[in-house]
Structure formats: structure tokens, C-alpha cells
Amino acid sequence: MGDYGGNDPTPATSFTASSVDTLTNKSVDLLTNTFTGTTAEFNTALSDGNFATIAGTETLTGKTLTTPVIASISNTGTVTLPTSTDTLVGKATTDTLTNKTIDANGTGNSISNIDVADLANGTDGELITWDATGAPATVAVGTATHVLTSNGVGVAPTFQASAGGLTGITDNATAMAITISADEEVTIPKQPAFFAKENASQSNVTGDSTEYTISYNTEAFDQNADFAFDTFTAPVTGKYLLAGSSYTSSGTTGSHSSYVVTIKTSNRNVRLFTSNTSLWLGAYNFLVNGAVVVDMDAGDTANMAIQIGPTGKTVGLYGDGTANAHTWFSGCLLA
């Protein structure tokens, strides 16, 4: 080696372009120099980690990506990340979603386990329906005793006054009105019907031409509670069957020449028996009965009367305390 100003220029260790050497305390300017090698070779040279490459497959940990742009995700489906500050929800987490639309008719979609409490609040008494276009709608609230009535295809149902369920029948009942048994027997629990009788004899009620309204102290039945003591009161306008019997028990004599038994109603009186001749040669019991169909208006009354004359008030009516009936009055609504 040549002389370098009196100093020994010979290095302690020399290396060549092809020699393998370890350099210490050296700086390499990468602007004018180039290092080449494989990723594995560089990773071997690193003492505290590994290099990550652009095209390689590596797992990164502890990294923060600032506004990254991800061109694609190697998986099925698409994930869209929000551009604003928001919260992503997980598959199994409990979250409240807002401004979302779920197409329940979409392929593979379904909505289940919806309780009544999960529905939106509505109006008390309204029902859910669908209009002519198939859109959901509500049926307006009806009034008491109204029933839900179909208005035909393309028209929403409405609450309307009951038409009785059968053409030609008007139903204003508020409780059970007609009962049909398994064997098709028909009963009408509130149909006016009564039967009353006299259990004890009544003395000296007529005989002097007094018209006596016969009273009855025992009711066998009074289905609609329309009979009281001696009078039936029609609850509704209609045609009524009325029937009765009078049985004189004492006091009749040959001098009694007038005998009249009448069913009396507000609209007309109906004679069951009348006689103007002497019927008795002595004291005899005499039974008169009959039946009639009469027209009565609501509130009209009906009773039964006996009038015997013209002598003393000595005639009485027989009453029977057993199950038998001699002096009685009965009736029912026919139509």
C-alpha cells in the first residue's frame, strides 16, 4: 500500500466485493446504495420482528389503520363501513335499531315472536284490516251492540247495528232470546206466558149484579213477569192467547137469572158465557171456561171478570189448594 502522509494506511481488516464480512459502526447511504435480498433474508437480519410485504400473507397485531381504503374482502357477502361516527352491532348482541326497513317477504327473511305488546299503540276498539290496494288499514270503532259486518270484496268491513244474522229478522236482544236443543226443540226464555190459579175459595163476590174481577193468589209460572194478582200487562204489541175458567162454589139460587163471564182487555171485552134465564133450581156449582186470541198493544191489560145477578151478593168462587185448578187464568204471546 502507498504512503498516506506519514500515517499507516493499512486497515486493521480489509474486505473485498466477494468476501463475507461483518461490519460494525458503519452507515450506508441508501440514496446512493442498494440493498437486495429476500423477505426471509431481511427477517433473518432483524432481531426484534419481521417485515410485512404488500403481496404476502401476514397476520398483523397491535396496528392502527388510519382512514384505510380496503378494495375487497376475501369472503362471501359485502360489509359496508359507516363513513360517520357510528356503532356496528353484532349478530348476538342486544341493540336498538332505528330507521331500518326489513322486507319480511324477501327471500329467506322472516319475522317471528312478535307479541301484542310489541305492536305500535293504536285506538281502543279499532281492528286491523287491509284496504282495496292491499295496504294495511284500520276498522273504525263501532258502538255498543254493533257487530263487525263484511261490505263485500274491495271494501273494508265496518261495525254496524245487528241485522239479526238472518234476512227478515230484527234482533234487538241484549241476552239469550232463543235456545235450540240438540234435538231441535226451540224455547224462548223471555216469551210472555203465565198461568195463575185461586187456591182458596172466595165468598160473596157477586150475585147482586156486581162485576167482580177475579183474583188469583198462586202463579204456576210467569215467564216474563207480566202478571200480577189479577191482571196481565202486555210487554209488546202482538197477538195473545188468553184463556180462563170460573167455578162458582156457593150462593147460586134459582133467582139468579143473569150470568156473565168475560175476558176483558184494553181493546175489547170477550164474553166466554152469558145467560139471562134462570139456570138453577137451587144451589149448584157451575164452571165456565173458554179461550180467545186478542190483539194487545204494549202496556194493554187483560183480566177475567164474573157478574151474576140480580139478587143478593151471595155467590162465591171455588179455590183448590191442591195441584188441581178450577178458577184460573192463563195466556201467552203468539205473534
Render pLDDT for 58-68 as a digit per residue (tens, 0 to 9): 888 888 888 88
The secondary structure element, H or E, covering residue 326 is: none
Residue 26 binned pLDDT confidence (cut-offs 50, 70, 90): confident
Confidence of residue 215 (pLDDT cuts 50, 70, 90): very high
Averaged pLDDT of the chain: 85
| Structural domains for the chain | 122-173 (no CATH), 193-333 (2.60.120.40)
Work out whether the CA dihedral 49, 53, 57, 59 comes out positive or negative: positive
Q: Residue 166 has what pLDDT?
A: 60
pLDDT at 135 over 90: no
pLDDT reported for residue 58: 83
| Res 90: pLDDT | 81
- Residues 279-290 have a mean pLDDT of 72
d(CA 43, CA 174): 94
The model's pLDDT over 180-211, given as tens digits with 9 standing for 90+, comes to 888 888 888 889 999 999 999 999 999 899 99
Q: What are φ and ψ of residue 123, in 5° steps?
A: -105, 130
Looking only at Cα atoms, what is the longest distance across the chain?
A: 192
* For residue 9, pLDDT beyond 60: no
- Calpha distance 318→283 (Å, rounded): 14
Residue 328 scores a pLDDT above 90: yes
pLDDT tens digits, one per residue of 238-268: 999 999 999 988 777 777 888 899 999 999 9
pLDDT tier for residue 20 given thresholds of 50, 70 and 90? confident
In this predicted structure, the answer to whether residue 99 has a pLDDT above a threshold of 90 is no
SS3 (DSSP) at 41:
helix
**How many CB atoms within 10 Å of residue 110?**
8
Alpha carbon separation from 39 to 34, 60, 232, 250, 320 (Å, rounded): 15, 16, 118, 141, 128
pLDDT at residue 203 in the model: 92
Q: pTM of the prediction?
A: 0.52
- Residue 270 is predicted with a pLDDT of 97
